[in-house]
Structure 1
Amino acid sequence: MGASIDGDEGQTGILGVVDAVDLVRLGFLQATVMIWILRTIPFLHSRFAVYGARGSDYSPAAKKEGSSAVLKPLDWFAGLHVSHGYFTHFYIFATGSIAFWITQLATKSRVIQAIASNTSEEHLQNSMSIQQVILCTALMAIQSVRRLFECIALSKPSKSKMLVAHYLLGFYYYALITVAVWIEGIGAIQSHTFTLTDFRITQVPSLRTWIWVPVFLMASGVQHDCHYYLSTLKTYTVPTHPAFSRVVSPHYTAECVIYLSLAFLAAPQGQLVNKTLVCALSFIVSNLGTTAHITKGWYQRKFGEDSVRGKWRMIPFLF
């Protein structure tokens, strides 16, 4: 069994209670619960669920409600903003983070050894293959670099603001996701020495790879096309791009499909999906679903019911 900090037999992980894989999963699940709390409790929703052009939904009534002594700290925190252009910082961080982990994995550093020593025997044995680790880490790097490019090349100056709460949550998410794509392969990583031959295609890709790599690439292409189109709009208006014809936020749909494909591609031997990435997907769907819901309501108020009639928020035929 992997080494335990307190040395108690039968316990592995941080403080001998939670191992490294479960800790990453727990991080996503805690964030998911927080999103649902913010979404369902009115005085939290009005303060923390809206931002940017949709920030007008933070009504005068909500501000007046904040005059109570109990809610004043929430009003203060909800009043902290940064420029919406700071979204670029997320992808600078994500690109730097995945580059850091690539170097740690390649050298099997002390950080990787510490993670392995705090991983349960079950997770070490039920591991992704080295090929899966390389593939999913590479795809995560592609996603991070593409989004960084889009932020730099397509973003336009804007007066929109982003809540500091959202800004901090973004860093929290990317710190976790750049670990999540490989951590269930820690067992294989621990016993493997990387060489150049690992990057050669020496065997026929599995059916899983044949299916989900094209899905990843297709979703990435759709998302890029949506981002490019939105960058060409001179003002906030109803999108007429074909991808927006039946879905209010198809770029969010694409984001969900990107991480869904990674969840299948990173599934350890004998498992259907990678549970850590499923936990990540629960957060992605909850977070983007909340924004898509708010966006549909904003379009209704600003452009009328016809602007969103017959359109799904994010997931066709479901939501």
Structure 2
Amino acid sequence: MAVSVLAYLYLVFAVVIFVLGLVQNSTIKLPQILQDTLLYGKSRGKRNEWTVMRYLEIPKSYFRYFYAVGIVANSAHLALAVQAYVFGVPPPAIYQQVVSAVSAEQVTTDALGTLLCISLMLIQDLRRLYECYFISVYSKSTMNLLHFLLGFYLYITFGWTVLSEAPSLNTAPLQHLHIGLITWYHIVGVIMFALASWQHQVAHVTFANLRKTEGKVRNYAHRIPRGGLFEYVSSPHYLMEIIIYLAFATVVGLRNISVWSVFVFVLLNQAVCAILTQKWYLDNYKTYPKSRKTLIPFIY
């Protein structure tokens, strides 16, 4: 079964990040240069030596640019897909060449699932950009430029990843799109996305309120978050991010290896972040609730 080149890249990135993350969480410590590359924010902790990677550090608040780029990219992907599937107008030749170059050479997803998936990602981009500007309170912590570029890769290529296993964009109007195509996995995926997005924003509001008093930012210190899902896991925001991408994969169906590879990438990446976050809390707060799991309530 042919798999798109984008899927291979996502899986390679996922494995590398996961292995390095597990090593970092073990008794074996990575060299400082790899720690500077892998870790960011509070999980990085105190650094004992200087490395050249510090020249490549940028503010963590630059996360907002991921979503701004994602809005532009996914709006374009969605507009061109709607133009093709609904109105029968093929996209520009250069765009079709890119889709062809990354194609998995198999159609596993219907047109409706394709449009739904890209639409949900666009909604995700819009919501996260709103959170970055109007909810989140960022400290002066930094991240490595490689994290930044990896984020750009995700948000720019997501639409092409979905289209790599979608019906041809050279199609007659509504040939692949009609009401009868609505399936249980479309409905389940949309519901999962809505619920996870809601709880994802609740978690970020909770984080922001830890640094506010009467609606104004008073400090940038880290504190123990409480309430809601934080009573069960240390990183509900990472759990909800995983569920959001699971919703994307559900919407396109079980056979779309390319989108499921994106889910695996997000799953392993967020799992590593959650593991390192749990370790940081336990190392820095003697009173941290021992009953809180790392990522999955009551389980892990």
By the TM > 0.5 criterion, same fold?
yes
Structure number, greater radius of gyration? 1
* Alpha-carbon separation, structure 2, partners of 1:54 and 1:226: 18
Q: Secondary structure at the match of 2:281?
A: helix
User: Which residue, 98, 112, 129 being the options, matches 1:131?
Assistant: 112
5 Å-filtered alignment, 1:259-278, equals: 259-267=245-253, 272-278=254-260
The two structures, once aligned, show a CA RMSD in angstroms of: 2.7
Matched, 1:97 2:77: no
> How far off its partner does 1:95 sit?
0.8
User: Which residue, 275, 279, 285 being the options, matches 1:303?
Assistant: 285
* Alpha-carbon separation, structure 2, partners of 1:273 and 1:55: 38
* Alpha-carbon separation, structure 1, partners of 2:119 and 2:42: 34
Find runs of 4+ consecutive structure 1 residues off by over 6 angstroms: none
* Alpha-carbon separation, structure 2, partners of 1:116 and 1:95: 19
Change (3 A) 1:192 1:253: farther
User: Which residue, 140, 147, 152 being the options, matches 1:171?
Assistant: 152
1:43-99 CA distance string (max 9 Å, x none)? 2653323212233243x1xx2xx7xxxxxxxx2024521111111111111111101
Q: Secondary structure at the match of 1:162?
A: strand
TM-score by length of 1: 0.78
- Identity, in percent, stands at 25
| Aligned residue number for residue 279 of structure 1 | 261
User: Which residue, 217, 222, 236 being the options, matches 2:222?
Assistant: 236
| Aligned residue number for residue 227 of structure 1 | 204
| Aligned residue number for residue 184 of structure 2 | 207
Mean CA deviation greater in 138-147 or 112-121 = 112-121
5 Å-filtered alignment, 1:100-115, equals: 100-105=76-81, 106=83, 107-115=90-98
TM-score by length of 2: 0.82
Change (3 A) 1:49 1:102: same
Decide whether the 8 Å contact of 1:248 with 1:292 is kept in 2. yes
| Aligned residue number for residue 255 of structure 1 | 241
Higher relative contact order (CA 8 A, sep 6+): 2
Question: What 5-or-longer segments of structure 1 have no aligned partner?
Answer: 1-17, 67-74
Question: What 5-or-longer segments of structure 2 have no aligned partner?
Answer: 25-29, 84-89, 212-220
Decide whether the 8 Å contact of 1:94 with 1:174 is kept in 2. yes
Amino acid at match of 2:45: S
5 Å-filtered alignment, 1:306-317, equals: 306-317=287-298
Amino acid at match of 2:136: S
Give the paired residue count: 277
Amino acid at match of 1:249: S
